[in-house]
Amino acid sequence: MKIYCGYYAAPFAVVGFVGSSEGLIHLGFYRSLEDFVERVRKRFGEIHQNIEEFKDLIELLERYFSGQRTELDYPIILNGTEFQLRVWIKVREIPYGEVRSYEWVARNIGRKGAARAVGNALRRNPIALIIPCHRVVRKDGSIGGFGYGVEVKRKLLRIEGIEL
């Protein structure tokens, strides 16, 4: 499988992604294009950019970041532990414009009491936004953490009409 990288310049960050014609294996938020390229090289080695390969994804991102209600339904390729996969798949079901708690995720994958483990699995989410871990908050309604920074999480939630 030949993998490529691409990026989208969102209003507050560079959205960088890696994948193939089969689906995404990584999507994250970066301070700059240089930051994205450096981190991708460290993790994946030398990868060629191919924006054309990600044309459909870029169209989805443009709609999303312009504030249009957009279901980010895009093919992904996941690798993780059984627990991580269950968490990521459940979180992918959280609708646009809604939030759920870490506790809710744990309960709904049959692991009541594993809210902290859910947080750890989400910290390792390889495909942010498509697996919308930004929609998972603490049970008291406070924002919780986010691997790319709480400010990015807050901005994503605002795009979806959620103020915490």
**Active site amino acids:** 133
- Closest Cα to residue 85, out of 129, 135, 125? 125
SS3 readout for 93-150: CCCCCCCEEHHHHHHHCCCCCCHHHHHHHHHCCCEECCECHHHEECCCCCCCCCCCCH
Query: Token pair of 87, please?
Result: 């968490």
Rounded distance, CA 98 to CA 117, Å?
21
Rounded distance, CA 19 to CA 1, Å?
9
Instruction: Give the three-class secondary structure for 75.
Output: coil
